[in-house]
């Protein structure tokens, strides 16, 4: 058996996504090999994260300031708002070269879990969408909850006469067609585009 | 781009074995979702590890006390010493049901890296091996450095008239013969046992 202080750290590592007992053990033993200074820095970075990170007053993105870098960037198109469920989705979408701004819902509507529109950042989105906004892109997850949320937002935003679009569904690039599940294939078929 | 405090923590996680940029990112974002209390505990456990862990005065195993649990256990056979390179090897060997004690070299002899017998815990091993020790089991790794170390120890321990044995080399259980590398097959052939 490992000493208690190692067992405790192994438990901490096991709380990270996809980390099992064996991996957590390797991480803890690696920590043991590090200099005291390096471990102190690690611990400090952990604490700093929780202390310094806040949510952007405008879009709900994670930031160290009052407003996130994207909302503060005047070179971006503030008339296009892309709606995502989680802040981490922004970092994925940024790789596409998208130059509009975002709105982080911080969840999705789920009647089953009792999560209603007012419980996530939908009111703040509706406040943001005025005559200056040209398009709202719905980029919620292609899951039951994400679809429900997109449907709900689509309905009320259209009532406000805002142009609403939705990320395309279909076959993921680089995969084989026969690996795609039925629902994806149905979506790919429905969303098929004409060859010109 | 992520805020600086997240980037710093991502770097910390990347220093763990087998953790790439993507995994480190997932870990850091998971930390962000945790309660402040839980993260404080994680940081404290990291610091505690370095503060509390010491090396057993007798065998060099990691421990929180002066002597490790294994050396302090009178029900074990202190006349049999199993020599390993690293403390973590002990936790692997404990699963075999071995009831002797251990000696952690904390490395292996490597002329290429300038690591000589006196640089690792070999002098303390030789001090331990007296007339009360019945057998020394060499369980160094089956690598160039581990083999060199085993050869060296075997020679000087035999000069002391101590019985010396070495863990068997051969085919790993549960694998296919054709997956084994040539060196393993040669060792398995050399070490073949008679069927009775």
Which residues pair with residue B110 across a beta bridge? B115
pLDDT digits (tens, 9 = 90+) for A120-161: 999 999 999 988 899 999 988 888 899 899 999 999 998 888
pLDDT digits (tens, 9 = 90+) for B62-97: 999 999 999 999 999 999 999 999 988 888 888 888
Judging contacts by C-beta atoms under 8 Å, the chain A residues touching residue B48 are: 5, 8-9
Residues of chain A with CATH 3.40.1360.10: 75-166
pLDDT reported for residue A5? 93
Q: What does the CA dihedral A78, A79, A82, A87 come to, rounded to 10 degrees?
A: 20
Q: Is the pLDDT of residue B149 over 90?
A: yes
Gap between the terminal Cα atoms of chain A: 68
> DSSP secondary-structure letter at B110?
B
Kindly report which listed range (B1-10, B45-54, B167-176) carries the lowest average pLDDT score: B167-176
Residues of chain B with CATH 1.10.8.420: 4-52
A179 vs A110: which has the higher pLDDT: A110
Among B174, B178, B134, residue whose Cα is nearest residue B157 = B134
CATH architecture of B75-166: 3-Layer(aba) Sandwich (3.40)
Residue of A10, A17, A22, A46 to mutate, testing the B interface (most B Cβ within 10 Å of its Cβ): A46
Kindly report which listed range (A21-35, A85-99, A174-188, B68-82) carries the lowest average pLDDT score: A174-188
Q: Compute the distance between CA of residue B42 and CA of residue B48 in angstroms, rounded to an integer.
A: 10
pLDDT reported for residue A196? 64
pLDDT reported for residue B157? 92
Task: For B4-52, give the CATH class.
Answer: mainly alpha
Q: Are strands B62-63 and B54-55 parallel, antiparallel or unpaired?
A: antiparallel
A107 half-sphere exposure, CB direction, 13 A CA radius: 14
Q: Choose among A12, A88, A94: nearest Cβ to B42.
A: A12
Q: In what order do the strands lie in the sheet with A135-138?
A: A100-104, A77-84, A135-138, A163-166
pLDDT reported for residue B66? 93
- Give the Å distances, CA to CA, from B80 to A47, B71, B94: 46, 12, 14
A177 vs B55: which has the higher pLDDT: B55
The mean predicted confidence, pLDDT, of chain A is 89
Whether the full predicted model's pTM is greater than 0.90, yes or no, is no
Q: Please compute the mean of the pLDDT values over residues B16-30 and round it to a whole number.
A: 93
Q: Is the pLDDT of residue A84 over 70?
A: yes
Which residue of chain B is at minimal alpha-carbon distance from A52? B5
pLDDT reported for residue A195? 66
Which residue of chain A is at minimal alpha-carbon distance from B30? A16
pLDDT reported for residue B190? 77
Judging contacts by C-beta atoms under 8 Å, the chain B residues touching residue A63 are: 3
A19 vs B183: which has the higher pLDDT: A19
| Rounded (to 5) percent helix, strand, coil in chain A | 45, 15, 40
CA distance A88 to chain B (A): 8
Q: Compute the distance between CA of residue A142 and CA of residue A150 in angstroms, rounded to an integer.
A: 9
Give the pLDDT band of residue A189 (cuts 50, 70, 90). Answer: confident
């Amino acid at each position: 058996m490992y000493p208690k202080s190692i067992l405790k750290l192994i438990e901490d590592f096991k709380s990270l996504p996809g980390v099992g007992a064996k991996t957590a053990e390797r991480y803890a033993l690696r920590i043991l090999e590090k200099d005291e200074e390096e471990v102190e820095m690690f611990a400090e970075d952990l604490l700093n994260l929780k202390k310094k990170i806040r949510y952007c007053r405008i879009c709900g993105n994670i930031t160290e300031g009052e407003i996130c870098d994207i909302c503060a960037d005047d070179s971006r198109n503030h008339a296009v708002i892309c709606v995502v469920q989680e802040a981490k989705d922004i970092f994925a979408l940024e790789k596409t070269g998208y130059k509009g701004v975002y709105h982080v819902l911080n969840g999705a509507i789920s009647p089953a879990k009792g999560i209603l529109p007012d419980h996530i950042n939908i009111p703040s989105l509706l406040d943001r969408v005025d005559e200056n906004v040209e398009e709202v892109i719905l980029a919620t997850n292609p899951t039951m909850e994400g679809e429900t949320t997109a449907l709900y937002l689509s309905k009320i935003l259209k009532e406000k006469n805002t142009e609403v679009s939705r990320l395309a569904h279909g076959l993921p690039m680089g995969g084989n067609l026969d690996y795609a599940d039925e629902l994806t294939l149905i979506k790919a078929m429905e969303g098929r585009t004409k060859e010109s």
